[in-house]
Amino acid sequence: DSGVTQTPKHLITATGQRVTLRCSPRSGDLSVYWYQQSLDQGLQFLIQYYNGEERAKGNILERFSAQQFPDLHSELNLSSLELGDSALYFCASSPGNTGELFFGEGSRLTVL
Amino acid sequence: DQQVKQNSPSLSVQEGRISILNCDYTNSMFDYFLWYKKYPAEGPTFLISISSIKDKNEDGRFTVFLNKSAKHLSLHIVPSQPGDSAVYFCAAATGGTSYGKLTFGQGTILTVHP
């Protein structure tokens, strides 16, 4: 158990819909990261927040947005969903700005 | 453009033998490298890392070697155990704003046979 909690574990929705994925980092970790793992792309960095502020951005689509709240939990919002958005979305946390990340079990999104 | 490549999709090894997983990168700005392993239905777990100022880092049965001139790193597991069977991801980062912004390889499935 990494200490990082992601909900929901599985989500099935239709094209055009909007979903929110939630992440609770390990206690005390200030950094939260979102990664997307799709079959053909592998693990791709989406975005990082540090203590409520956006710290780094990857190839995150404009249809996607994220935020980190004062209690340090984070949400990833995916809108106008397309079939290609079907993937495993991982949240990870770390105490600082280090590559030693603690990953959650992921949220599997299926867009039909 | 895949900046981190793991050219072997899978590797099969006998228990007790050495497992060698390889990784190549193209971006010379990468200065921090990590290995993660992943079991089914779990998130990746950090295994070992190495800074570009070193060429070797050891942690128990796991050793990572870095060859900067060849832009190549490898993970050695000695001796291999059946519990090591998992997907292994190589990752790289550039210093500066975020070492958590990792670029991952596609992964290598390691199977250790009893």
What's the confidence (pLDDT) of residue A13?
97
**Which one of A32, A103, A105 makes the best mutation probe of the B interface by having the most chain B beta carbons within 10 Å?**
A103
Find the length of chain A.
Answer: 112
One-letter amino acid identity for B27?
Answer: N
Q: Shortest CB distance from B104 goes to which of A33, A43, A105?
A: A43
- Rounded to a whole number of angstroms, the distance between the first and last alpha carbons of chain B is 38
Report yes or no: A94 at the B interface, CB cutoff 8 Å. yes
Burial readout A52-69 (b: 16 or more C-beta within 10 A, e: otherwise): eeebbebebeeebebebe
> What is the layout of strands, in order, in the sheet containing B72-77?
B4-5, B19-25, B72-77, B62-67, B56-59
The minimum CA-CA distance between A6 and chain B, rounded to whole Å, is: 11
**A31 contacts in B (CB within 8 Å)?**
100
CB neighbours of residue A86 within 10 Å: 16
Instruction: Tell me which chain A residue has its CA closest to the CA of residue B89.
Output: A43
B90 has which bridge partners?
B35
For residue A56 the two structure tokens come to 């780094």
For residue A9 the two structure tokens come to 């574990």
**A103 contacts in B (CB within 8 Å)?**
36, 43-45
Structure confidence by residue, pLDDT tens digits, B80-100? 999 999 999 999 998 755 678
Place of tokens 């993937």: A87
- The answer to whether the Cβ–Cβ distance between B43 and A43 falls below 8 Å is no
- The answer to whether the Cβ–Cβ distance between B93 and A99 falls below 8 Å is yes
The Cα–Cα gap between B98 and B100 comes to: 5
Q: Which of A19, A26, A9, A10 is nearest to A103 (CA)?
A: A26
Place of tokens 């670029």: B103
Q: Is A97 helix (H, G, I), strand (E, B) or coil?
A: coil
**A3 contacts in B (CB within 8 Å)?**
none
Q: Which phi and psi (to 5°) does residue B84 adopt?
A: -80, -10
One-letter amino acid identity for B28?
Answer: S
Place of tokens 């249809």: A63
Q: What is the full per-residue pLDDT of chain A (112 aa) written as tens digits?
A: 889 999 999 999 999 999 999 999 999 999 999 999 997 778 999 999 999 999 889 989 999 999 999 999 999 999 999 999 999 999 999 987 678 899 999 999 999 9
The Cα–Cα gap between A85 and A64 comes to: 10
Task: Supply the DSSP symbol for B84.
Answer: G
Q: What is the full per-residue pLDDT of chain B (114 aa) written as tens digits?
A: 789 999 999 999 999 999 999 999 999 999 999 999 999 989 999 999 999 999 999 999 999 999 999 999 999 999 999 999 999 999 999 875 567 889 999 999 999 999
What's the confidence (pLDDT) of residue B100?
80
**Which one of A48, A89, A97, A105 makes the best mutation probe of the B interface by having the most chain B beta carbons within 10 Å?**
A97
What's the confidence (pLDDT) of residue B97?
53
